């Protein structure tokens, strides 16, 4: 054993890049764990496929007249819904980390207190990419076709990812506050169900009663879904499915909601992380 | 792997005297003062702590005066963005401290419990301080405050020369913590755990890998290095956890009940590891429920109970206060009870009586160091066959009984300590 306590090993200099580097190291940790237990990806792989099949054939005829006419509405709606549902994973992961004591280790290291949270979010990007790819693939198999150019398509993907990462702060907060994983799951889903169904994800909001329509139209998920429809779908489709190609307003609303999520939930999550011991 | 002392660099030169004006370093007291007693000091205007330090030849850690800059640092540290490192000493000064850890009047309350009610102690550099106490005494809380995981409600703690509340990032660079429960990622392998810690400590990937390899060898985990930590036994997890704490060559290591739940052989192994760590010049703060453990490892022992220090002494003195060891004999033939009792009375502390801790066992408090030999000789002379015989240190319970005059409740489940700390 040649090591000695008073001898410090060669380390990289401290600097503003530390946070990025540490977050990356911790994101690698999440990725390795996902790779080892691919079952955790079920919520972004198999369950979206299941939703797509069920909804297309159950609601398609009733809502849009035919299953193929329903797809431009449904696929974008499902991406919004599943992004929201997938965010529960990060809350559960943080909660498990606390329970198992690994966060004590991170807290006793000279790294930023935000790094473990950033790392977890960064590691989740893979999940969202997978989710969007699988959703579009399933849609394609069922007959869904993008109606715009590649740039608008990529802009939609980027917007969906950004939304996912900003929304993730809310389940992170729940994960840091709740006492166990089951509580995290219960609390997050309880909030997400009204948020996903009282939206424009599966049906046009016009048929809802006034108060519910107001809620559904203001719902952050509705804005995201509307933005995706405007960016991806053929502008000649009915307004509920394409917003006639006018993407600027829903994108602005979506970005606004992203900012609100971060401004409200990120400081609360950091505070909860610092307090939780 | 062989330990090579030549590789251990000499300690840094002390910053003394000439830098005594530096507000963060404090002054060394020279001359006749060094021999002064507390009584001599009455009226000199010097406080007790300075004098104690002077007598021991130690630096004192002066209180910090708050400034606008320090307030800004406090705000920054609250959010701890990590990008800015506070460096309280000019870069050319290499500072070492004679006191590795100094806790002063630490107070911490949780919702219902007062976990700490003004706890003070010091760990001299390169020494081991044992913090001894039953479950729920506040040991874990104290360690968590010193390791910057919790904030004290009141009081001050200086660890490796930095105030834990004001420069937590500086403290974290210099300490390692091994908690009561292994803080490792079970889904990663042992090697991945250590490499991750190394990389988080800003080591280059190759350096972190080399350090992980070195630690795995030291802690005898090489064979299990590439298995997920889930498959490790309790002892292996503890070793991995300890290895993780040592990754960054900390100046100070906090060991929170490192052997709780380990079987006796694993406990001895852990003790050897702790001795190894100390031999490299690292200071250690160790909490334990076992007087035996504190006795085996610690230079000094602090006994805490209900969040208060009730004794601070060497193991030797503590045993002396508590008085006695216990000699216990279990004769094979119970019909010889009378003779056994007589022999025990003969070697026991005068004025005490023979106790029967459980049926068939006879115990007597002993003070004479020759008691065991004399008892063996007497049993031999009387041809009494013995199935068990032991000389035991006073138990924690007896220490407490002597110090507080009240019996402890039987130790509760370990979860309780965790509950108090969280």
pLDDT in the model for residue B79: 54
Is A112–B244 a contact, with Cβ atoms under 8 angstroms apart?
no
From A8, A101, A276, residue closest to B182, measured CB to CB = A101
CATH topology of domain B99-319: Rossmann fold (3.40.50)
| pLDDT above 90 (res A263) | yes
| Test mutation, B79, B82, B249, chain A, max A CBs within 10 A | B82
From A3, A108, A111, residue closest to B149, measured CB to CB = A108
pLDDT in the model for residue A14: 63
pLDDT in the model for residue B405: 65
How much is the pTM?
0.73
Residues of chain B with CATH 3.40.50.300: 99-319
**Residue B11 confidence class, pLDDT cut points 50, 70, 90:** very low
* Interval A234-263 mean pLDDT: 88
Q: Which residue of B has its CA nearest to A105?
A: B183
| Test mutation, B4, B9, B80, B142, chain A, max A CBs within 10 A | B80
| Whether B186 contacts B228, CB under 8 Å | yes
**Residue B352 confidence class, pLDDT cut points 50, 70, 90:** confident
Q: What is the three-class DSSP state of B381? A: helix
Spatial distance between the Cα atoms of A251 and A230, rounded to a whole number of angstroms:
9
Which residues of A fall within a CB distance of 8 Å from B11? 6
pLDDT in the model for residue B77: 54
* Interval A66-71 mean pLDDT: 84
Q: Which residue of A has its CA nearest to B94?
A: A6
Residues 11-50 of A with CB under 8 A from B: 11-16, 18-19, 21-22, 25-26, 28-29, 32-33, 36-37
Residues of chain B with pLDDT > 70, as a percent, come to 70
Distance from CA of B143 to the nearest CA of A (A): 11
| pLDDT above 60 (res A2) | no
Which residues of A fall within a CB distance of 8 Å from B277? 5
| pLDDT above 90 (res A256) | yes
CATH of B324-393, one of 3.40.50.720, 3.30.70.980, 3.50.50.100, 3.40.50.2300: 3.30.70.980
pLDDT in the model for residue B55: 43
Helix (H) or strand (E) holding B392: strand B386-392
Spatial distance between the Cα atoms of A76 and A210, rounded to a whole number of angstroms:
24
pLDDT in the model for residue A15: 64
User: How much is the mean pLDDT over chain B?
Assistant: 75
| Whether A166 contacts A264, CB under 8 Å | no
| pLDDT above 70 (res B54) | no
| Whether B395 contacts B319, CB under 8 Å | no
pLDDT in the model for residue B402: 74
Is A114–B82 a contact, with Cβ atoms under 8 angstroms apart?
yes
Is B281–A5 a contact, with Cβ atoms under 8 angstroms apart?
yes
pLDDT in the model for residue B62: 41
A109 in B contact zone (CB under 8 Å): yes
| pLDDT above 70 (res B422) | no
Q: Report the candidate in B101, B90, B94 with the shortest Cα–Cα distance to residue B148.
A: B101
**Residue A184 confidence class, pLDDT cut points 50, 70, 90:** very high
A7 in B contact zone (CB under 8 Å): yes
pLDDT in the model for residue B6: 44
| Test mutation, A37, A107, A108, chain B, max B CBs within 10 A | A108
From B7, B179, B188, residue closest to A2, measured CB to CB = B7
Which residues of B fall within a CB distance of 8 Å from A1? 1-4, 214, 218, 276
pLDDT in the model for residue B135: 82
Spatial distance between the Cα atoms of B262 and B293, rounded to a whole number of angstroms:
12
pLDDT in the model for residue B347: 85
| pLDDT above 50 (res B30) | no
| pLDDT above 50 (res B43) | no
Residues of chain B with CATH 3.30.70.980: 324-393
H helix runs in A202-247, sequence order: 210-218, 220-232, 239-242
From B183, B202, B211, residue closest to A12, measured CB to CB = B202
For A38-50, write each residue's pLDDT tens digit: 888 888 889 899 9
Spatial distance between the Cα atoms of A52 and A74, rounded to a whole number of angstroms:
8
| Whether A197 contacts A115, CB under 8 Å | no
* Interval B299-311 mean pLDDT: 88
Q: What is the three-class DSSP state of B353? A: coil
* Interval B214-228 mean pLDDT: 92
For B72-104, write each residue's pLDDT tens digit: 655 555 555 443 444 555 445 445 568 889 999
Spatial distance between the Cα atoms of B267 and B317, rounded to a whole number of angstroms:
24
pLDDT in the model for residue B285: 94
Q: What are phi and psi of B329, to 5 degrees?
A: -130, 140
């Amino acid at each position: 054993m040649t090591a000695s306590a008073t001898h410090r090993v060669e380390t990289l200099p401290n600097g503003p890049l530390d946070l990025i580097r540490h977050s990356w190291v911790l994101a690698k940790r999440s990725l390795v764990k996902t790779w080892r237990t691919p079952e955790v990806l079920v919520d972004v792989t198999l369950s979206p496929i299941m939703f797509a099949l069920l909804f297309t054939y159950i609601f398609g005829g009733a809502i849009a007249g035919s299953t193929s006419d329903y797809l431009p509405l449904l696929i974008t709606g499902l991406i919004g819904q599943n992004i929201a549902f997938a965010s529960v994973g990060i809350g559960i992961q943080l909660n498990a980390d606390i329970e198992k004591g690994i966060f004590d280790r991170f807290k006793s290291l000279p790294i930023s207190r935000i790094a473990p949270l950033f790392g977890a979010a960064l590691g989740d990007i893979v999940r969202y990419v997978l989710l969007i790819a699988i959703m579009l693939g399933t849609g394609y198999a069922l007959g869904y076709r993008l109606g715009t150019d590649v740039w608008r398509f990529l802009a939609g993907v980027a917007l969906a990812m950004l939304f996912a990462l900003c929304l993730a702060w809310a389940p992170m907060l729940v994960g840091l506050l709740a006492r166990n994983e089951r509580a995290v799951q219960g609390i997050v889903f309880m909030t997400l169900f009204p948020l996903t169904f009282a939206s424009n994800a599966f049906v046009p909001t016009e048929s809802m009663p006034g108060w519910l329509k107001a809620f559904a139209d203001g719902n952050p998920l509705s804005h995201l879904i509307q933005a995706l429809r405007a960016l991806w779908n053929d502008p000649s489709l009915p307004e509920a499915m394409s917003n006639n190609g006018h993407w600027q307003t829903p994108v602005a609303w979506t970005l606004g909601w992203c900012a609100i999520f971060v401004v409200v939930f990120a400081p609360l999550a950091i505070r909860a992380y610092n307090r939780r011991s | 792997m062989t330990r090579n002392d030549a590789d251990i660099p000499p300690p840094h030169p002390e910053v003394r005297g000439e830098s005594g004006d530096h507000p963060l370093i404090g002054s060394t007291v020279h001359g006749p003062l060094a021999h002064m007693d507390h009584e001599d000091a009455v009226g000199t205007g010097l406080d007790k702590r300075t004098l104690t330090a002077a007598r021991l030849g130690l630096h004192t850690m002066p209180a910090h005066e708050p400034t606008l800059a320090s307030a800004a640092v406090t705000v920054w540290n609250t959010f701890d963005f990590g990008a800015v490192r506070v460096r309280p000493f000019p870069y050319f000064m290499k500072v070492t401290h004679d006191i590795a850890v100094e806790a002063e009047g630490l107070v911490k309350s949780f919702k219902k419990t007062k976990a700490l009610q003004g706890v003070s102690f010091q760990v001299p550099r390169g020494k081991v301080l044992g913090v001894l106490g039953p479950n729920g005494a506040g040991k874990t809380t104290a360690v968590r405050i010193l390791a910057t995981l919790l904030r004290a409600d009141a009081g001050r703690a200086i660890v490796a020369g930095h105030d834990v509340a004001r420069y937590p990032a500086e403290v974290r660079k210099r300490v390692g913590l091994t908690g009561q429960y292994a803080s490792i990622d079970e889904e990663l392998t042992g090697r991945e755990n250590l490499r991750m810690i190394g990389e988080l400590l800003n080591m280059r990937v190759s350096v972190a890998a080399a350090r992980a390899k070195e630690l795995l060898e030291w802690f005898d985990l090489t064979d299990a290095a590439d298995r997920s930590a889930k498959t490790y036994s309790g002892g292996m997890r503890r070793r991995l956890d300890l290895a993780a704490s040592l990754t960054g060559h900390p100046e100070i290591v906090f060991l929170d009940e490192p052997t709780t739940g380990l079987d006796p052989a694993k406990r001895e192994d852990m003790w050897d590891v702790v001795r190894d760590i100390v031999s490299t010049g690292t200071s250690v703060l160790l909490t334990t429920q076992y007087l035996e453990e504190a006795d085996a490892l610690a230079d000094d022992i602090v006994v805490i109970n209900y969040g208060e220090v009730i004794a601070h002494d060497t193991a030797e003195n503590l045993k002396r206060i508590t008085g006695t060891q216990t000699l216990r004999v279990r004769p094979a033939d119970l019909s010889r009870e009378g003779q056994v009792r007589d022999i025990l009375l003969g070697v026991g502390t005068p004025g005490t009586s023979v106790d029967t801790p459980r049926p068939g066992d006879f115990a007597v408090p002993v003070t004479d160091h020759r008691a065991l030999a004399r008892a063996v000789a007497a049993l031999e002379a009387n041809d009494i066959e013995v199935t068990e015989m032991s000389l035991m240190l006073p138990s924690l319970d007896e220490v407490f009984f002597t110090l507080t005059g009240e019996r402890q409740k039987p130790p509760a489940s370990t979860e309780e300590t965790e509950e108090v700390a969280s």
